[in-house]
Amino acid sequence: MSNEKQKHRQAALKAWETIRRKHREQRTKGVEKLTRWMSLDAMGKISHPEIIRPMDAEGWQGNGVVKLFNKTPEDIACGPFWELRWAYGCPLNCSYCYLRGTMRGRMKPSYVRIEETIRCIKEAFEHIQEPQIFNSGELCDSLMNPPLMAEIVDLFETQTKHKIYLLSKFGTRNIGFLLEKPRKQTICGWSINPDVVARKWESVAAKPSDRIEAASLVWDEGYDTRIRLDPIFPVPGWREHYGELIDQIFSMLLPNRIILGTPRGLWKTINYAKKTGVDISWIKFFQEDTGWGKKLSFESRKEIYFFIFNKLESLGYPLHKMSICKETTQMWEALGLNYISKTCNCYGKKAYDY
């Protein structure tokens, strides 16, 4: 590890100690006044903002914390995966975030009590027999409360069947617990956009360079580390911006998997974004309707995916380690990619091990 990375690692560990100390102080003062808690029943009743229609599913469907996402439109290739609903909301407040589409636009984080979360995860371990990925970043940011997440990932280390996926836009300050000790059942993922996009629509999130640094540090520690380029916006000069971003990522780490996606505009997301007064200039890119809301035109999306594919191939990155999220079956076929209909290529059992 370079001297620069070692400095970042030490800074992350120091930040983790500070967070952990403050967490202990909060507990002694009475965390009821400092943390908004959500009942298990209330969490279980939350309708995922991107749910469109139910798919047929058999067996155990989950509980208030662990729940099967199995509601995908007919023209979308994606299928079911398991959500880990330990919290709802996000302090990063990205302008395009689909979480605006539920809870009447409220984004302030609420948490399920850790005791209930642990109990529900243990119940899921008993019921789910095939190895699965539990995505903890669907209804919140996985790293927004490191002390709580540290307890959750440690629970996953007590077994060897299932893995937890941490998806985040936070940076090095929030990864100290991951660097403190290695974990085999934890997958780390970062959602990253170029600076020009981040400054405009992700202004509260960590800088893209800090997210890449965080990803590289956990990758150095042996974590399965994945990158999500989503949503990819066709801003002026987008080829140059995204090409440089990919070069920057690959100069720091070799992602275990890369997930691609383009903007999706569900009516509830757009409606509440307007009401809250955030920058909604991103809606200008939408040109057609699909089963997953408004999207860029088919040809625009195809052009973006081919550009990213060619860029990654030029770096020697294998295409089988890439997937496209919430896309139509028509797009998969146009790109010449093999897929199994109604299978989640990003977080489902097909993406369990690479």
Q: What does the block give as tokens for 121?
A: 């995860």
End-to-end C-alpha distance for the chain, whole angstroms: 24
Task: List pLDDT tens digits, range 141-154.
Answer: 999 999 999 999 99
Task: List pLDDT tens digits, range 73-121.
Answer: 778 888 899 999 999 999 999 999 999 877 677 889 999 999 999 999 9
203 Cβ neighbours under 8 A, 6+ residues apart:
none
φ and ψ at residue 107, rounded to 5 degrees: -115, -15
CA atoms within 13 A on the CB side of 354: 24
Q: Is the pLDDT of residue 56 over 60?
A: no
Q: Is the pLDDT of residue 157 over 50?
A: yes
Per-residue HEC secondary structure of the chain comes to CCHHHHHHHHHHHHHHHHHHHHHHHHHHHCHHHCCCECCHHHHHHCCCCCCCCCCCCCCCCECCCEEEECCCCCCECCCCEEEECCEEECCCCCCCCHHHHCHHHCCCCEECCHHHHHHHHHHHHHHCCCCCEEECCCCECCCCCHHHHHHHHHHHCCCCCCEEEEEECCCHHHCHHHHHCCCCCEEEEEECCCHHHHHHHCCCCCCHHHHHHHHHHHHHCCCEEEEEECCCCCCCCHHHHHHHHHHHHHHHCCCCEEEECCCCECHHHHHHHHHHCCCCHHHHHCCEEECCEEECCHHHHHHHHHHHHHHHHHCCCCHHHEEECCCEHHHHHHCCCCCCCCCCCCCCHHHCCC
Instruction: Between 55 and 348, name the one with better pLDDT.
Output: 348
d(CA 73, CA 54): 8
Q: Is the pLDDT of residue 135 over 80?
A: yes
Instruction: Between 53 and 207, name the one with better pLDDT.
Output: 207
Q: Is the pLDDT of residue 257 over 60?
A: yes
Beta-carbon count within 10 A of 262 CB: 23
Q: pLDDT at position 279, please? A: 94
Where b means 16+ CB within 10 Å and e means fewer, 309-320 reads: bebbeeeebeee
Q: Which of 37-46, 221-230, 256-265 has the lowest mean pLDDT?
A: 37-46
Q: Is the pLDDT of residue 32 over 70?
A: no
What's the rounded mean pLDDT across residues 251-269? 94
Q: Are 88 and 107 in contact (CB under 8 A)?
A: no
What's the rounded mean pLDDT across residues 28-53? 66
Q: Which of 33-47, 99-113, 339-353 has the lowest mean pLDDT?
A: 33-47
User: For the chain, what is the mean pLDDT?
Assistant: 91
Q: Are 264 and 98 in contact (CB under 8 A)?
A: yes
To the nearest whole percent, how much of the chain has pLDDT over 90? 69
Q: Is the pLDDT of residue 34 over 60?
A: no
Could you tell me the pLDDT band of residue 188, with boundaries at 50, 70 and 90? very high
Q: Is the pLDDT of residue 33 over 50?
A: no
Q: In which region does residue 181 sit, left (phi positive, over 0), alpha (psi from -120 to 50) or beta (all else)?
A: beta
Instruction: Between 156 and 71, name the one with better pLDDT.
Output: 156
Choose among 99, 191, 187: nearest CA to 136: 187
Task: List pLDDT tens digits, range 207-242.
Answer: 999 999 999 999 999 999 999 999 999 999 999 999
Could you tell me the pLDDT band of residue 49, with boundaries at 50, 70 and 90? low
d(CA 353, CA 309): 21
Q: pLDDT at position 324, please? A: 95
Task: List pLDDT tens digits, range 271-301.
Answer: 998 988 899 999 999 999 887 789 999 999 9
Q: pLDDT at position 35, please? A: 63
The CATH fold assigned to 3-351 is pyruvate-formate lyase- activating enzyme (3.80.30)
Domain ranges of the chain: 3-351
Q: pLDDT at position 43, please? A: 84
d(CA 36, CA 144): 13
Could you tell me the pLDDT band of residue 27, with boundaries at 50, 70 and 90? low
Q: Name the range with the highest mean pLDDT among 29-33, 53-57, 63-67.
A: 63-67
In sequence order, the β-bridge partners of residue 225 are 188
Q: Are 346 and 167 in contact (CB under 8 A)?
A: no
Total-model pTM: 0.93
